[in-house]
Structure 1
Amino acid sequence: MSKLIPFACAAVLSAATAQAQQQPADSTPAEAPSAASSPSKGSVKAGAPATGSDGKVMPQVTVSGGRQSDMDERRNSTAGKQIYGREELDRNGDTSLGDVLKRLPGVTIGGRPGRGGDVRMRGLGNGYTQILLNGERPPAGFSMESLSPDQVERIEVMRGPVAEHSARAIAGTINIVLRDGYQQRDIQVKLTDSIEEGLHSPNLSVTLPGKAGALSYTLSGSIGQHRSQDKGGRSISRDILDDGTVQREQLLQDESSGNSKNLHFAPRVSYKFENGDTLNIQPFLMASRGDTGSKGTLEQPIGKDAPDYNAFTQQAHSSMTFLRGFGNWIHKLQGAAKLDVKFGGGIGKRNSDSQRTEFDGSGNLLDRFTDTDSTRDRNFSTGGKYTSPLGQGHLLAAGWDLESSHREQTKVSVDKDGKPQFAESGDNLNADTRRVAFFAQDEWDITPQWAVYMGARWEGIRTSSERSNGSAGSISNTSKVFSPLLHGVWRIPGFEKDQVRMSLTKSYKSPNVQDLIAAPTPSRGVNRPDRPDRVGNPDLKPELATGLDIAYEHYLGRNGIVSVSGFVRDIDNLIRREVAQKQMADGLHWVSMPTNVGHARTSGIELEAKFSLSELMENAPNIDFRSNYSRFWSKVDGIPGPDNRLDQQAKQTANLGMDYRMKDIPLTLGGSFNWTPSVRVQTSPTQTVDTGSKRVLDMYALWKFDARTQLRFSASNLLADDSLGHNLMYAKGLSITSDSLNPTYRVWSIKLETKF
């Protein structure tokens, strides 16, 4: 597919140029700004001619400033981008950003409802989806689940990579933009209390805007507490011989509880100089402290050997603090050119300690394991983008990105006698990453119907790590990727609300530090195929993907759209963990190691429809509909079918939502339904993983007392379905199965929102 890129570029340019030559000499390009336009860029429109006092016809010009609406920005972007602003973030009164994301087209959240998980676009997780915070990669350990939606201004979803962001986005990019440019002068306060199984989780959010001369600022912060408990979780594991004989059966039942406190603070300061330059600075502080406790019992109805333990208890404490600073300086140059220099840096620390105690059937102490982990991160990044218009509707940009990050980590694991549980226990691990990137992009509204985006990005990443004792854990890995990018939009003549998009791109996924570190991490307990040691592979290569995206969009009213899109990704150097027996220092061990296994392909279709009924029918009720459906296919070469899919990729996902604003009373009712069916994945020739279906029903009611105060009641996960899972591993005549069931819970929330 990579050979198609130059031909596609030539075809798009030839067709667009031919149409441009057919335009009358006095025709003007489309009014839509290009994809790289600043969100604050206004538009100028020529209206109907007016007659002056002297009888001469004077053209009427309307100048509009400020940021475009979310739908207008999506429509006018050459490189496809979906925008979800405060309306979507506030709609259901969510307390977690993951609950907002799960309703977006093509986005799924791993894990069970209410407990968070990795964010996936097109069903692909584990690094295929690029997550950005203010256009920058967030610090290591950052979790969107811990970020309050009240601290976010908007969410930008890009299905294909663009040159100014990293091309580490095989599935796509989700950019979380923190509170910026808050235009209202009011102080906004939101007080929320969520209740799960009788446990209260309060949260207070405050946004304070202000201005003093050329200085404007927005102070935004939140503080909250989250309590949870999980009861009734159980799993059954069986060892089955080829003749069907059950050699061993174990039943584990457990329960847990958690209590965490979190603080977010994200002020933003902007200063405009007399020469028109602008300086923006936005620090971001995230801090959390948490305690968890769990206990369980292990029964073994079948099996000759005694189990490792019969009961356990565990207590854990964790703390996390991130301080990250974003900033940029916009300098206006001659003409309409400008230079945007950005800078950022941050520090972070994470500490965790846990103690697990195991007992036999008589309650006697068997062992006690103490684990501690101390991690320190620091990073610095800078970059810039020079933009210069080459004519109306034609913008050229080029820039660079530099990033340096350093991590220090010390992990200690000892048993009740103080014996280390692995050889590197207590060693200090140092890891460094250096990233350099250069990019250029050309956005051109060739005609009112044709717009094209051509870009290229070169990115090099060097990762190195070493341990304090100089063990085999020292590694060095360098990767370099060149990504040509092409996006195009055709606005269908005679159908001003219809357009077709096309993208042909190169993207990649780089291996993470933990997958590169060669030092083994032994499994706790008996070494088995389902409990292998874990090692890294310093020779891993990045996964490379060639992607094709095509979409048709029809816009309805002010904020409505009907779209149909499809995509294909060809992936080389696919990384998978393989489990096999390897000779270690003390004999043969089952070992899990990441390996580049070869080629894979994934494709899919995505449907979306959202509209206001009152805009389509006269005298219709004020009902807003939102729906989307996605279907995904994938195949991994070298793994037997029929379920040789990409790991964890769902086959389908769908969302349906509705909001009803009553006319006679200030009440709005709404709800949404999210569905992901069960899926089976053959992850290797010897392992199959089943994930149960997920159905999540959320509803809310919003009462507006006046223009400044409103009260929102919401209920999430009303169906409270159990989360099911199944794992099968076959090794040397033995099938090892594991079936798990974990309950989920309804959450009731009340939120008071007011302005002063």
Structure 2
Amino acid sequence: MRSQILPTIPRVVRPASWTLTPVSRLLLAASCGATFFPSWAQAQTAQPSTPATDLGRIEIRGNRDNDTEVRRESTAAKIVIGREEIEKQGDATLGEVLKRLPGVTLGGAPGRGGAIRMRGLGGGYTQILMDGERVPPGFSIDSLTPEQVEKIEIMRAPTAETGARAIAGTINIVLREGQKANPDDLKITRTQEHGEGSSQVNWVHNLKTEPLGGTFTLSAMDQYRPDESHTLTETDTGDERQKDVKAVGHRKAIHANARLQWRGEQGKTLTLTPFLIYSEYEALGQIQSRQLSGPSVLLSDSANTRNRSIFSMGRLNGQWAQRLSADDRLEVRFGVGQSKYDYRFDQTGATTPLLLNTFETQNFVDKSYSLNGKWTRAMENGHQVVSGLELEGVRRVEAANAAVSEDGGDLQARTFRWAGYTQDEFKINPNWSAHGGLRYESILTEGTNEQGFKSNHSAVLTPLLHAVWKPDADKRDQVRMSLTRSYKTPTLYNLVARYVPSREPNSPTRPDRVGNPDLRPELATGVDVAFERYLASGGVLSANVFRRNISDLIRYTTALNTSTNKWVSTPMNVGDAVTQGLELEAKFRLDQAWTDALPIDIRSNVSFFHSKVLQVPGPNNRLDQQPSMTANFGGDYRLRSLPLTLGGNFNWNPDYDTRRSDQQWAYQGTKQVLDVYALWKVSAATGLRLTVSNLTPRDYITGTSYIGHSVSEVARTTTPNWRMVQLRLEMKI
């Protein structure tokens, strides 16, 4: 199958002037050749040619090389993805960009976005920052378009400055910065998926005034998306039920943000970043439920569904920076924001116990603020000391009602966080650099719901150490090492969530949910070791191994509440866990490896993960939703004879089972997504891009099961997904 997707090229090639060492060969073969391109590994056995002295070809290194240089010079491990790579594939959402990055996966069905996960770990293990600040409550990364983003930074190990709530790592999204010399960007997009059409317009305007500079970004979308799922549930009593769900969702949204920067004398700068989102969503659908077998009378039922929501968010972030002396710099950041969400779900027309007539409403208002101060001092012997203090508060007021039962109610909650840190980055000698830090963070969460007042307080001290060793200071090979302490805090809903009943008849695989105010934070001790080779032509080869020892793991467990005779899922600290893995990456241009090859930009990565929860019996007692591996292979080729660029990417995650407790199991099916694109440059300022996402769609299968306490139930869900065709006009004005 792989050879059909990526056929080998029957062509004799010879290596270029940079030599492949045994380590380089291993990285290339493991991260792309051995996985996707078998003939490449064979081609590397050819003898290197004599270094050429022909100077007839001159290359100009662009932004991608600058991003690679930033990565190389950073003491703490950092991968930088710039504008060139962000916009290359023509993605509609930022999540589609992230899924191709090393070690990053998305939850949910293929092509449908989902929670961002580093090293297969999400749900609080992966820290998401925007311009160096934690994203505000209710914010979804998929609400950002790639046009709003300047660069993406991936940090595999935490630092004192960026925060230690990053057991899996940190993703920092930096919004667009204004460039006075750049023209405006205008992109008009039309998308078709399974008979439903969507439209989107993106505009980026660069200010060209002094002393005020910056950029405005505006995105508007009118989107229709089909949704469909089929669930088969079987029990030990012989009951077999089939539920079919079909709906079409319609979303209208407008996103606007700006980055305004004033530069004064003596290094003074003031940056303001307003951010606005408004979104309306409505989905109309139908549910059909049938009892296929069982000891009782066979039933059949159907219901109509209507899902409506309105989300709005406004936020203003600011930064004041001032140079106090030649060696000292002060930076103050602040942020204020509010988000509002109104939601209603109706399920009507049901006449049997197979389906429930449901009327749910929920609305909440989140208000948040933050204030951070940071002092940086350059000292003797190459030391750079950074110290800071952070304050953050969130207050939520929520009202909810669920007519499916008598449960429901209001929630009022607040979270207050403060942190202090200091770190020192210094160069020991030409071969060694180090980065050490210490961070203390305290979080207080309080809330009142229908069950009364709840409170939780946690405080964690985290030491962090990073080092870089260059065996030869004059060459471009280096080894990174990190020893860190990180943690994951329970979310607001983990702690004080109101009682949420299931929309379907209560069962072990369809339980009610409730929070737990007695949760403790998860703590992790981590080790990372990486080898990196930076190629003279701008490419990079890397291999990274990591391990995290986690204590007080939080996991939802399902049990029967004997007082109400209902199955309830509650978060619990279940014990300890271990996760470890190997991450390989190769990025380069093919003709810089072999001079007779086509000038194809190759980007490939493959990651292998293994984990186990020590208190859960095996096999498959892995951490939730962590696959055994994830892989990407992509390339881009610009034709010499035509103003045409072709490219694509293949993303693959294998299927796997997870044993969540003695009685609970979960299954995640294989995910494979092939995306291709073609960009025709009509002129220097105008281009026409055709993108086909999920070119070879296949059904996505998930499942849950509960076997124990004289009860057995298995539910298996099949979610179809479809090919998406997108046509975009790109103009520079």
Work out the CA distance in 1 between the residues paired with 2:613 and 2:176: 41
Residues 453-487 of structure 1 show CA distances to partners (whole Å, capped at 9, x for unaligned) of: 001110000000013xxx42421100001110001
Partner-residue secondary structure (3-state), 1:160: coil
The range that moved more, 168-177 or 608-617, is 608-617
**SS of the residue 2:133 aligns to:** coil
Match status 1:440 vs 2:422? yes
Give the Å deviation of 1:523: 3.2
Structure 2 runs not aligned, ≥5 long: 1-60
Give, in whole Å, the separation in 1 of the partners of 2:102 and 2:284: 36
Match of 1:108, as an amino acid? T
**Residues 502 and 422 of structure 1, relative CA distance in 2, 3 Å threshold:** farther
After superposition, the Cα gap between the structure-2 partners of 1:102 and 1:67, relative to the gap in structure 1 and judged at 3 Å, is closer
> 1:684 matched to which residue of 2?
661
- Is 1:667 matched up with 2:644? yes
Query: Are 1:726 and 2:706 counterparts?
Result: no
Question: Which residue of structure 1 aligns with residue 686 of structure 2?
Answer: 709
**Partner AA of 1:236 in structure 2:** L
- What amino acid does structure 2 have at the position aligned with 1:143? S
Distance 1:552 1:366, change over 3 A: closer
Contact 1:292–1:315 (8 Å) recurs in 2: yes
Cα deviation code 1:370-423 (max 9, x no counterpart): 1111110111101011011113632111011100110110001225xxxxx234
1:552 aligned residue: 531
Secondary structure at 2:428's aligned position in 1? coil
- Partner residue of 1:644? 621
Structure-2 residue corresponding to 1:461: 443
For residues 690 and 488 of structure 1, what CA distance do their matches in structure 2 show? 39
> Alpha carbon RMSD of aligned pairs, Å?
2.0
Report the counterpart of residue 655 of structure 1 in structure 2. 632
Q: How many residues align?
A: 673
- Kindly report which structure 2 residues correspond to 1:249-648, keeping only aligned pairs within 5 A, or say none: 249-305=240-296, 310-360=301-351, 368-391=357-380, 393-414=382-403, 421-423=405-407, 425=408, 427-467=409-449, 471-493=450-472, 496-517=475-496, 519-524=498-503, 526-584=505-563, 587-618=564-595, 620-648=597-625
Question: What is the match of residue 101 of structure 2?
Answer: 104
Q: What is the identity, as a one-letter code, of the residue corresponding to 2:287?
A: G
| Residues 415-441 of structure 1: CA deviation (Å, up to 9, x unaligned) | 5xxxxx234x3x331110000000101
SS of the counterpart of 1:99? Answer: helix
Q: Give the conservation status (yes or no) of the 8 Å contact 1:474–1:518.
A: no
Q: Tell me, what secondary structure is at the counterpart of 1:267?
A: strand
Match for residue 137 of structure 1 among 134, 137, 157 = 134
Q: CA-to-partner distance for each residue in 1:21-72, whole Å, 9 max, x for gaps? A: xxxxxxxxxxxxxxxxxxxxxxxxxxxxxxxxxxxxxxxxxxx999981101
Does 2:170 align with 1:190?
no
- Of 648, 662, 670, the residue aligned with 1:693 is 670
Per-residue deviation, residues 497-553 of structure 1 (Å, max 9, x unmatched): 100000000100000111112653333454332232322211100000000000000
Q: CA deviation at 1:494?
A: 6.1
Counterpart-to-counterpart distance in 1, 2:379 and 2:406: 61
Question: 2:37 is matched with which residue?
Answer: none
Contact 1:523 1:531 in 2 (8 A): yes
Amino acid at match of 1:339: L
Aligned to 2:230: 234
SS in 2 for 1:514: helix
Instruction: Give how far 1:325 is off.
Output: 1.1
Local SS of the residue matching 1:142: coil
Task: Say if 2:131 and 2:172, in contact at 8 Å, map to a contact too.
Answer: yes
Cα distance, 1:495 vs structure 2 = 6.0
Counterpart Cα distance in 2 of 1:700 and 1:67: 20
Aligned 8 A contact 1:624 1:658 in 2 = yes
Give the distance between the partners of 1:632 and 1:207, measured in 2 at CA. Answer: 39
Q: Is the 8 A contact 1:309 1:359 kept in 2?
A: no
Structure 2 CA distance for partners of 1:263 and 1:273, relative to 1, 3 Å: same
| Contact residue 309 and residue 360 of structure 1 kept, 8 A | no
Alignment check: 8 A CA contact 2:315 2:336 kept? yes
Pick which of 656-665 and 435-444 moved more: 656-665
Identity of aligned residues (%): 42
8 Å Cα contact 1:560-1:610 kept in structure 2 = yes
Tell me, yes or no, if the aligned pair for 1:475 and 1:518 is still in contact at 8 Å: no
Cα distance in 1 for partners of 2:357, 2:561 equals 29
SS in 2 for 1:334: coil
Tell me the equivalent position of 1:199. Answer: 196
Give the deviation of 1:754 after TM superposition.
1.2
Question: Does residue 1:128 correspond to 2:125, yes or no?
Answer: yes
Amino acid in structure 2 at the alignment position of 1:239? T
Change (3 A) 1:247 1:198: closer
**TM value normalised by structure 2:** 0.89
The alignment's TM-score, normalised by the length of structure 1, stands at 0.86
- Equivalent in the alignment of 1:42: none
Q: What is the CA distance between 1:316 and its match in structure 2?
A: 1.4
* Counterpart residue identity of residue 662, structure 2: P
Cα pair distance change 1:307/1:280, threshold 3 Å: farther
Separation (CA, whole Å) in 2 of partners of 1:549 and 1:312: 52
Change (3 A) 1:460 1:100: same
Q: Report how far residue 195 of structure 1 moved.
A: 1.1
Q: Quick one: which amino acid aligns to residue 620 of structure 2?
A: D
Distance, in Å, in 2 between the alignment partners of 1:620 and 1:528 is: 59
1:256 CA displacement: 1.0
C-alpha separation in 1, matches of 2:381 and 2:730: 44
Inter-CA distance 518–747: structure 2 relative to 1 (3 Å threshold): closer
Contact residue 477 and residue 533 of structure 2 kept, 8 A: yes
SS of the residue corresponding to residue 312 of structure 2 reads strand
2:175 equivalent to 1:178: yes
- Deviation at 1:293? 1.4
